[in-house]
Amino acid sequence: MHGTNARVLAATAALVLVLAAPRAFADVPATLTAIVWVSSTTDRALLSRVQGQTADLDVTLSVADDTLPDDLAAQLSAATRLARERGARVAVWFTLDRLADPSNLLVHVADVSSGRVFVRAIAAAHGDGANTGADVPAVPSATLEAAALVVRGALRALAQGGTIGIAAPNSTSPSSVLSRGPSAPSWRVSASVGWQTSIDGLAAFGHHGPAARISGGTGLLEVGASFGSALPVTRVDAWTSVQLTRLGFDVWVGAAWTVERQFRFGAHVGVGAVLYFRATAAIDPRATPTPPRVLPSILVSPEVSAAWFPTALRGRLGVSLTLGADVVPSAPALGYDDGSGFQRFQTLWPVQPRIGLALSLATE
């Protein structure tokens, strides 16, 4: 009898365990999956810190190695789309605080499921820099660790069923956030003033003079206009003294892209005109100088450029280097008319290498 009772109790206990097991497992929260957007060496250093800070949490990190859009709305839209594609609930990314202080880090954590976004500014700490690579300035280790702690706190709150941040701008529901496309592209504007040299075969060290340019662009597209002048160059022989002054201008279009948030590279092709102002004076009384004259030519100018906008200067002021070639199909020729025809003794090069160094001011 006692054996029968024992068997009944054991069967009852087993049945209770079987019925309770699904409910018990249902109470165990699912692993939180988050994508971390990595677009620079600094981001990779931040990723390493985040991985260390979240190692004890029930969180799975997925790395997205891609370039970030420029503005927050486009970043949120792209991060939401990528998180949905990878089955992640959370997206994490980092940017520089260009509005207040570019040396500060902005930590972004977006909860895709609720359409909420959390942004925290991390002030740059003073001290030894972390090893973020030779291609960018060292970011203080304390700054990296502080950013990783912010991410840990947000992910921990979400993993425990909490909420973060505020509702994403212009959204009232998760579906509106998920369906919203990128915002209208923002334009960047820059202007530069500097010095340039073009080698045309007349002067041993080329034509030197001030140069200026203004440009605007969005995404990879960049358009602009350039102006350059040169100090007079004089060629003297036994008969005459010939002075040439160069003036050139063009409009151009091309592509420009940013690397590590402070280096900007570009490739452009410009079309314009170059004017040579010629003045001749006789040295030998038997020579008759011709009147002053303007010698025009079409100008085609392919070029590449590189600019550096240090974060210490808030990413607004920098230096730029330009390398190009001025194609001048109707380059001037110098010579004498001896009665039998024009006798050339020097023709300027139709392709003239050019280099320029300038101080640049940019809107971002």
- Dump pLDDT digits (tens) for 246-268: 999 999 999 998 887 688 999 99
- Cα separations in angstroms, 287 against 26, 233, 290: 105, 20, 10
The pTM of the whole model exceeds 0.85: no
Residue 38 has pLDDT above 80, yes or no: yes
Per-residue b or e along 274-303, where b marks 16 or more CB atoms closer than 10 Å to that residue's CB: bebebbbeeeeeeeeeeeeeebebebbbeb
Mean pLDDT across 116-143: 65
- Dump pLDDT digits (tens) for 270-309: 999 999 999 999 898 888 888 999 999 999 999 999 999 8
> Are 109 and 201 within one domain?
no
Mean pLDDT across 83-105: 81
**Nearest Cα to Cα of residue 121 among 85, 73, 159, 72:** 72
Which tokens belong to 268?
Answer: 């452009």
From the CB of residue 205, how many other CB atoms can be counted at a distance below 10 Å? 8
> Are 301 and 321 within one domain?
yes
Number of domains, the chain: 2
Lowest-confidence region among 130-144, 187-201, 331-345: 130-144
Long-range contacts of 286-290 (CB under 8 A, 24+ apart): 286/239, 287/239, 287/240, 287/336, 289/240
Could you write out the DSSP letters of every residue in 37-79?
Answer: EE-SHHHHHHHHHHHHHTTTSSEEEEEEE-PPPSSHHHHHHHH
Percent of the chain with pLDDT over 70: 80
Identify the pLDDT of residue 270.
Answer: 97
> Are 172 and 193 within one domain?
no
Structural domain boundaries, residue 105: 27-179
Phi, psi of 287 (to 5 degrees): -90, 140
Phi, psi of 81 (to 5 degrees): -65, -45
> Are 281 and 208 within one domain?
yes
* Better-predicted residue by pLDDT, 172 or 3: 3
Residue 331 has pLDDT above 50, yes or no: yes
Q: What angle, 0 to 180 degrees and rounded to 10, lies between the N-to-C axes of helices 41-53 and 141-159?
A: 50
In the structure, what pLDDT confidence band is assigned to residue 135 with cuts at 50, 70 and 90? very low
> Are 96 and 222 within one domain?
no
> Are 192 and 155 within one domain?
no
